[in-house]
Structure 1
Amino acid sequence: MHAAENKRRLKIAAITTIYFKYSHAQHIVDRFLEGYSWEGRHHRPDMDVASLYVEQVGENDLSRERLKRFPGMKHAETIEQALTLGTGSLAVDGVLLIGEHGNFPVNEKGQTLYPRYEYFKQIVDVYRKSGRTAPIFNDKHLSWNWKWAREMYDTAQKMDFGFMAGSSMAVGRRMPAVDLPWKAKIRESLVMRPAWLDGGDIHTLEALQAIIERRNKGESGIQWVEALTGDRFWKAMEAGSWDKGGWDNHLMETAFTRSNMIQVVRNNYGVVLPTVADLKRMAPQSYAYRFQYNDGTRATALAFQESPGQGRILSDTPVAVRLKNDSIFSTLVYLPYYTMRNFFNPLVNHMETLFSTGKSPYPIERTLLTTGMTAAGVESLFQKQKRIETPHLAIKYKSTEKSTFWRT
């Protein structure tokens, strides 16, 4: 039996690494506590955060203040306590698993070892002991470790509970507010974003995947990935096409024209299209991931890494797609100003759907795939830009015909 099947006001457990201003925990949990703007009104979720577990409490901690202001939200010393509310059995209807931010080790590949898998295991242990389950939302990628990510997915499937994950980039606003036509036939796609190894890569790939998974035969999974940096990156850019070892530069140009936060790249100019020379001068440590999909689709993720003291080339995430008829679809995944960050609104709204229905409003397989794509891209960089074959990423799924990004 799923706890979310009950009709009473739902109880949610929040499991977090840390809780400070602009942390993911603050963004997500605060919206459940305070509400958020939605479709021209202030929306308050019809469910309550019943418990809060925070692993790391620093000088800038906000969790203790929130616990005082919302006495119905109980402080939990352990994850088990957060889920059982001291009853000895599962006593909540949904779980927020927010393993982002905080002081955690970084491995030799540059991945931060956030304990999402470890948290998930503890949550599932409570489910097994209780003989029932509740839906889980997992913030960002499932884990830095592919095998652990796959185990998380397989466990949710076997135990049959709602599982939703991913980045706000997949469901945020777009400029223009368009989606790839349903069952469109495409050849190649490109997404670009400021460089941030692993933690930023997942945002980039979620933005891309949420669009191109709508293609004509659905998602087919990834055949191989190849990371490029240094001289190979610039040679690939100058090559101008996928078949020559690079990417479609018309897609890159289109993506730049969609950017709403592009920097002035030359003195005494306003905003102009950057040349390869401009990019090489300003962002010499940039890198790219080239993905070959099993159905022949091609995708490139560009990450611009600026020199120290140099401003970002761009600060947003445009996407461009070459269709089979040679036309180009493009849009900008739009993030508002830093202090506003209301792009968490649609993500939280989808979490409400997960908890109230017991089902994710979009496929968990998307984030399983982007988790694997991120890990494989990082591995290719670590192995000196070696092409990595990815038979484990032959993940097939169908998207929803109805768009799930924020339109209003």
Structure 2
Amino acid sequence: MTTADPHAGQAAAKPRVAVILTTYFRGSHSDVVVGRLLDGYLLEGENRQPDVEVVSAYLELLGDPYGGDDPRDDIGVEMFEQFGIPMFDSVAEAIGLGEPGVAVDAVLVIGEHGGYEENMYDQRLYPRKRLVDAAISTMWGAGTFVPVFTDKQLAWRTRDAFRMVEDCRRFGVPLMAGSSIPLAWRSGDQTWPAGEPMDAAVVVGFGGADIYGTHLLELCQSFTERRAGGETGVEQVLGLTGDQARAALTDGRIDRELYERALATVDLEPEGQARIAESGIDVFEVIHRDGLRSWIVIHEGLYRFGVAARGPNLSTATRVWAQRGPEFGHFSYLVRNIEQFFSTGKPGWPTERVLLVTGVLDAAMRSRHASRGQGVPVPVVTPELDFGYQHDDSAVIHAHGLPVIDDSE
């Protein structure tokens, strides 16, 4: 068995990419990621042509991707026809360009959006693992393995995420996953100083809990993993919603000073303050193995992101700027990191970061369900998340300079 070299052949050749998608409508992750790989994109004020070439596509949900519950107009078929990209009826055919084998240099999986079922924990059962499994199985049959990027968290279930990572390691498949928010513009204190001790962190943002929880947890990790000793793993997770989450803001469970500092970064007008006071709320509490405590506070009506952290020597507060549509400019930085990964085979950040986020989100949603059902907080112990990692982010392409105008309100 071999691992494909994306640099083999002519030095100037762009990596050839198969895109494996659940659905493709205006403003979907497929649109804001694959659309940039097809038609170029704006980065740091300049038009940029992609460094990779999309050569095939598998699109699972055609027509009305939400089955009538939330009608969206499919634009994927039109886009692929416009750019001359062949569409195939299976993942294997897309990777082999209609023939048995692997005929591409990389695989992009976007298992986001679409009318997939929800389980009892309010998790949307997106088929990320199934789509990645189909790609890995195709590679195994051919004896050739290429890099895989999968959007956002690895899976909705922790054990599936571990299996994905184990399979990719076993076969030597470079795997990268993650979201756009940790790469977006920042103002205030740009980040946490590398190697500085940290005791606590709070991230505020908007939700729902499942779909945005992964963004906020990964944003939090991009700060907390820089602390002295790096990430040490997570021993316990608590999820709360509604009145239980509101009580956590007043009963001392959440570090109120850090919460208010994080909220102050987003410059709320009085009407914004009134809106979040009335909107839905979720809280995740994460207890790390080295004693660090971090909290995610999700206000449905907030529309902005803020981070505050404190250690024995200093404290920081940062606003994170994401741009609303139709531009969604922060996705340009995710696309640029995906291109770099496909060209080098080296992930910009550790897979362990997203594996940890995946496990914390799964535990938080299960805890949230149990806490709501029993009427008292029910934390979930997470022995499976007893692993750490170190991260040197020097190769990551972040947004820099002044943030884009945030027109979310």
TM-score calculated relative to the size of structure 2: 0.89
Residue of structure 2 aligned with 1:220, choices 211, 220, 232: 232
Unaligned runs of 5+ in 1: 241-245, 266-270, 306-311
Which runs of 5 or more residues in structure 2 are unaligned?
65-72, 372-376, 402-409
Letter in 2 for 1:301: I
Q: Deviations over 1:168-206 (max 9, x none)?
A: 112111123712111111100000112312111101101
Match of 2:74 among 40, 56, 61: 61
Q: Which residue does 1:43 correspond to in 2?
A: 48
Aligned to 1:323: 311
Matches within 5 A, 1:173-252: 173-176=185-188, 178-240=190-252, 246-252=253-259
> CA separation in 2, counterparts of 1:297 and 1:404?
27
* 1:389 paired to 2:377: no
Q: 1:255 aligns with which of 257, 262, 278?
A: 262
Q: Which of 384, 387, 390 is residue 398 of structure 1 equivalent to?
A: 390
Letter matched to residue 253 of structure 1: E
CA-based RMSD: 1.8
State the Cα deviation string for residues 6-28 of structure 1 (Å, max 9, x = none).
24321100000011100101111
> Which segment is superposed worse, 112-121 or 330-339?
330-339
**3-state DSSP of counterpart to 1:200:** helix
Give the one of 102, 115, 122 matched to 1:103.
115
CA deviation vs aligned residue, 1:307-351 (integer Å, no higher than 9, x gap)? xxxxx2x211101001222x3211112112332211110000000
1:251–1:328 Cα contact (<8 Å) kept = no
* Displacement after TM superposition at 1:281 (Å): 4.9
The answer to whether the 8 Å contact 2:15/2:105 transfers is yes
SS in 2 for 1:238: coil
Note if 1:156 corresponds to 2:168.
yes
SS in 2 for 1:198: helix
Aligned residue for 1:18, secondary structure, equals: coil
Counterpart AA for 1:141: Q
Tell me: CA distance 1:86–1:401, structure 2 relative to 1, closer, same or farther (3 Å). closer
State the distance in 2 between where 1:78 and 1:195 align. 33
Q: Residue in 2 aligned with 1:25?
A: 30
> Counterparts of 1:258-277 in structure 2 under 5 Å?
258-260=265-267, 262-265=268-271, 274=273
Partner of 1:296: 291
1:282 to 1:125, Cα distance in 2 relative to 1, 3 A = same
Partners of 2:141 and 2:242 lie apart in 1 by: 52
Q: Secondary structure of 1:299's match? A: strand
Aligned to 2:366: 379
The farther-off stretch of 225-234 and 103-112 is 225-234
Partner residue of 1:308? none
> 1 CA distance for matches of 2:120 and 2:269?
32
Distance in 1 (CA, whole Å) between partners of 2:132 and 2:244 is 39
Deviation at 1:287, TM superposition (A): 2.2
Find the residue that maps to 2:113 and give its secondary structure: coil
Residue identity in the other structure for 1:315: Y
Distance 1:281 1:397 in 2: 37
Q: Distance in 2 between matches of 1:281 and 1:347?
A: 32
CA distance in 1, matches of 2:136, 2:344: 19
Partner of 1:268: none
Taking structure 1 as reference, are residues 281 and 85 closer, same or farther at Cα in structure 2, changes over 3 Å only? closer
- What is the alpha-carbon distance in structure 2 between the residues aligned to residue 19 and residue 337 of structure 1? 18
- Partner residue, 1:343: 330
The answer as to whether partners of 1:144 and 1:375 remain within 8 angstroms in 2 is yes
Instruction: Classify 1:280/1:27 alpha carbon distance in 2 versus 1 (closer, same or farther; 3 Å).
Output: closer
8 A contact 2:308–2:317 mirrored in 1: yes
Query: Given that residues 284 and 295 in structure 2 are in contact (C-alpha distance below 8 angstroms), is that contact kept between their aligned partners in structure 1?
Result: yes
Q: Distance in 2 between matches of 1:81 and 1:291?
A: 42
> Percent identity, aligned pairs only?
30
Aligned residues: 382
Question: What secondary structure sits across from 1:90 in the alignment?
Answer: coil
Please, which of 70, 93, 99 is the counterpart of residue 81 of structure 1?
Answer: 93
User: Quick one: distance in 1 between partners of 2:277 and 2:223?
Assistant: 31
Report the residue type matching 2:380 in the other structure.
I
The counterpart of 1:139, out of the listed 143, 146, 151, is 151
Structure 1 residue runs of 4 or more that deviate by more than 6 Å after TM superposition: none
